[in-house]
Structure 1
C-alpha cells in the first residue's frame, strides 16, 4: 500500500507531474493558433466553448509544435528538464542540438509527445480536482444540491449522496494515476528520443578515448621526465657531497649538471601543464628526442659519477620523429631505473641500433645485490610505473619489450663489479613502420 501511494504521490511522481503540466503550458500557444484555424474552418464562433472544437484545435496545434521543435535549443532544454524532473540519468541523454535528420526526427517526436500528454494531463489537472472536491463535500453542503452549479439532479438522491465522496476521491486517485502513468511513459521514452544516436555514442566514446590517451601520454611524460630528473639530481647531489672537500672541480660539474637538469625539466613540465590547462596555449619547450638530446642525457647522467657507456650503431637523425621521441623516453627511463636500483657505483651500458627494420634499444647494468635490480620497479616502496610506462609506449608503437635478469650477457658494461654473467637488461624493439 505504501509503495502504491509513493508511486502516485511520491517526490518523483510529483516532479513528473510538474513536467507534464509544463508540457501543457507549452502546448497552449499552439492550441490558440489551432483555434484560429479551426474556428473559420468550421464556422464556430466560440471554439473554447465546444469540447470537440477544443480537441480539434489541440490536434492542429501538435504538428505545428513538431515543426518548431527543430529550433536548436529545443533538445538541450528538453533534456535538462527530463534530467531534473523525470529522473533520467545524464549519460542517457544528449544535451547538444539535434544535427542529423534522425536526431531532428526523434526530437520532434519527443516534443510532440511531451506537449500532447502534457496538454491532456494539464487539462485534467484543471478540471478534475474542483469537481472531485464538490462531490466529496456534497453530502454536508446542502447549498450545492438542487441543480445548483449545473450538477445533475440525480446527485440529490440519498444513495448518490452516499457515493459522491467515494466517487470524488476515486477521481483524484485516477488523476494521480494518469499523471504517474504519463510521467513514467515520458521517462521511459526520453532516452530513446532525446538520447544520443549510435553514431553520437561512438563519437563520444572516441572523444573520451582520445582524451584518455592524451592524459595517459602526458602522465607518462611527466613520470619519465620528472622521475629521471629527480633521480639524476639526487645522485649528482650525493656524489658532490661525498667529494665536496677533496674534488671541487667535480662538485662544480655536478652542480652545473643539476642546474641544467632542473632547467630542462621545468621547461618540459611547463609544456605538459600547458596542455592540461584548458584554454592555455601549450608550452614551447620541444619534446626531447634521441637525435637532439641523447648526448645531453648521457652527459647529465655521468655528471653524478655514474659510469655510462653508449654504443649507437645508426644515424639518429634519420629516425622517424615519433620513434626518436619515444626512444629517448625509453633510454631515459632505463637509466632512471639503473640509478634507482643499481646505484652510482655500477656501470650502465646503452646500445642503440637498427636491425631488420626495427629500432633496438638495450639498457644493461650488472646486478650488485640479491634484490638490487631484480625486483620489478612497481614493487619498490611507494610504488612505481617505470617498466609499465615503457611497456605502454612499446605496445602503442607495436613493438616488444623484455626486462629482467640476463645471465651470461656478453654485452655487460665494462668495469662491473658484480658476479660474472649476472646483469639486469632492458631490451626494446620498435618497428620502423607500425601502428603508431
Structure 2
C-alpha cells in the first residue's frame, strides 16, 4: 500500500506539488493583468465566479509571463527552485543567466509551463478539497443538502448519497494524481529547458581551468620558494651544528644566512598568497627574478657549505619579466634538489647561457648512491616541467652516462627519476620570445 501511495503522496511528490503551487502564485499577477484586458471585452466586471473571464485572463496572462521571463535572473531563480523541489540532479541544470537566444527561448517556454501547470494545479488545490470533503461527510450530515452550497440535484437520490464519499475520495486522488503527473512532467522537461547550453559548459570548463591554473601556480610557487628555503635552512643548521665548536665564524655566517633566508621567504610567501586576494595588496613583496635575485640565491645556497660554481653568460637584465621570474624558480628548484639529494659537500655547477634565441639553464652535480626518495616527493621536477611547458621550452633531467642523459628523463608531460649514478643533470631550454 505504501509503495502504491508513494508516487502520489511521497516526499518527492509533495515537494513537486509545492513547486507547482509556487508557479500558481507567480501566475496570479499576470492573470490579474489579463483580467483587465479580458473583463471589458466580455462585458463582465466580476472575476471570481465567472469561469470564462478566469480562463481568458489566464490565457492572456501566460504570454505576458513568457515575455517577462526574458530578464536574466529568471533562469537561475527557476533552476534553483527546481533543484530544491523537483528532485532534478544539480549538474543537469544551468547556473547562470541565459546567454543565447535559444537558451532564452527555452527559459521562456519553461516559465510558461511552470506558471501554466502551476495555475491549474493551484486552482484545483483550492477548489477540489473543500468540495470533496463535503461529499465525504454528506451522508453523515443531511442538513448540508439544504444549505446554499449549490450541490447537484442528483445527490437527492439515496444511491447518489451513498456514493458521495466514494466520489469525494476519488476527487482527492485525482487531484493528487494530476499534481504528481504535472510535477513529474516538469521534472522531466527541466534538464532540456533549463539545462546548460554548449556555451554554458564551455564557460564552466574555462572557469574550472582558470581555477586549476591558479591552484597549480600556488602549488608551484609554494613548493619552489618555501620548499627551497626549508631545505637550505635545514642544511645550514646541520652544517653549523657539526662545526659549532671548531669554526665559530662559519656558524655565525650560517646563522646569518638562515636569518636572511627566512626573512626573504616570508616576503615571497606574502607574494604567493597575494594570488588568493582580489589584487596584490600595497606593499606586497614582488616575485623574485633572475636579474635581481640570482646573486642572493647563490649566496644563501653557499652559506650552508654547498660548493656551487656558477657560469652566467646571459644577461639576466635583458630577459622579459615573466621569463626572468620563471627562470629564477627553475634555478631555485634545481639548487634545492642539489641540497636535498647531493649533500652539502658535493660541488654543483650552474650554467645560464643564451644562444639561438633560447635561454639554457643547466644544473649538474655528482651522485654516488641511490637517489633518495620520500613519500609524496617528486613535485619539484613536475613543477619545473609545468613551468617549461607554459613557456614553450624543453627540459630533460636524469643521470648522465657518456655525456648523454640516460635515465630519469623529464618532459613537459612525463616526469620520472632514474637511479642516481654518476652525474645528475637538469637541462632546460626556454625561448626568449613567444609564449613567455
* In structure 2, C-alpha distance between the alignment counterparts of 1:383 and 1:141, rounded to whole Å: 84
Which deviates the most, 158-167 or 107-116? 158-167
Structure 1 residue 236, shift from structure 2 partner: 1.1
Structure 1 residue 132, shift from structure 2 partner: 1.9
* Residue in structure 2 matched with residue 160 of structure 1 by the alignment: 160
* Residue in structure 2 matched with residue 205 of structure 1 by the alignment: 205
User: Where in structure 2 are the equivalents of 1:223-372 lying within 5 Å?
Assistant: 223-277=223-277, 281=281, 284-369=284-369, 371=370
User: Where in structure 2 are the equivalents of 1:35-46 lying within 5 Å?
Assistant: 35-46=35-46
Structure 1 residue 282, shift from structure 2 partner: 7.1
Structure 1 residue 280, shift from structure 2 partner: 6.6
2:104 is the alignment partner of 1:110: no
1:1-59: CA deviations, max 9, x gaps?
Answer: 53442221111211111111111122122212212211211212434322122101111
User: Where in structure 2 are the equivalents of 1:62-211 lying within 5 Å?
Assistant: 62-98=62-98, 100-145=100-145, 149-211=149-211
Quick check: 1:270–1:283 contact (8 Å CA) kept in 2?
no
- 3-state SS, counterpart of residue 257 of structure 1: helix
Distance of aligned partners of 1:404 and 1:410 in 2 relative to their CA distance in 1, 3 Å threshold: closer
- 3-state SS, counterpart of residue 285 of structure 1: coil
* In structure 1, C-alpha distance between the alignment counterparts of 2:88 and 2:283, rounded to whole Å: 41
* In structure 1, C-alpha distance between the alignment counterparts of 2:15 and 2:383, rounded to whole Å: 50
1:221-275: CA deviations, max 9, x gaps?
Answer: 0110001001111111111222223222222221221122111110010111122
- 3-state SS, counterpart of residue 49 of structure 1: coil
Which deviates the most, 315-324 or 208-217? 315-324
* Residue in structure 1 matched with residue 400 of structure 2 by the alignment: 406
* In structure 2, C-alpha distance between the alignment counterparts of 1:312 and 1:406, rounded to whole Å: 22
Quick check: 1:310–1:349 contact (8 Å CA) kept in 2?
yes
- 3-state SS, counterpart of residue 48 of structure 2: helix
- 3-state SS, counterpart of residue 345 of structure 1: coil
1:136-178: CA deviations, max 9, x gaps?
Answer: 2333333344797322232344443443333322221121111
Which deviates the most, 421-430 or 32-41? 421-430
2:416 is the alignment partner of 1:422: no
* In structure 1, C-alpha distance between the alignment counterparts of 2:105 and 2:94, rounded to whole Å: 14
Structure 1 residue 351, shift from structure 2 partner: 1.6
Distance of aligned partners of 1:280 and 1:173 in 2 relative to their CA distance in 1, 3 Å threshold: farther
Number of matched pairs: 421
Structure 1 residue 102, shift from structure 2 partner: 4.0
Q: TM-score, normalised by structure 1?
A: 0.88
Distance of aligned partners of 1:199 and 1:279 in 2 relative to their CA distance in 1, 3 Å threshold: same
Quick check: 1:363–1:427 contact (8 Å CA) kept in 2?
yes
Structure 1 residue 112, shift from structure 2 partner: 1.8
Which deviates the most, 349-358 or 209-218? 349-358
* In structure 1, C-alpha distance between the alignment counterparts of 2:88 and 2:155, rounded to whole Å: 45
2:388 is the alignment partner of 1:394: yes
- Unaligned stretches of 5+ residues in structure 1: 412-420
Task: Kindly report the root-mean-square deviation, in angstroms, between the aligned alpha carbons of the 2 structures.
Answer: 2.5
1:337-380: CA deviations, max 9, x gaps?
Answer: 111111111111112223443322221111122x1x3x5xxx41
* Residue in structure 2 matched with residue 415 of structure 1 by the alignment: none
* In structure 1, C-alpha distance between the alignment counterparts of 2:283 and 2:64, rounded to whole Å: 53
Quick check: 1:147–1:153 contact (8 Å CA) kept in 2?
no
Q: TM-score, normalised by structure 2?
A: 0.88
* Residue in structure 1 matched with residue 417 of structure 2 by the alignment: none
* Residue in structure 1 matched with residue 411 of structure 2 by the alignment: none
* Residue in structure 2 matched with residue 414 of structure 1 by the alignment: none
* In structure 2, C-alpha distance between the alignment counterparts of 1:382 and 1:188, rounded to whole Å: 46
Which deviates the most, 119-128 or 27-36? 27-36
1:77-103: CA deviations, max 9, x gaps?
Answer: 333322222233444434444565444
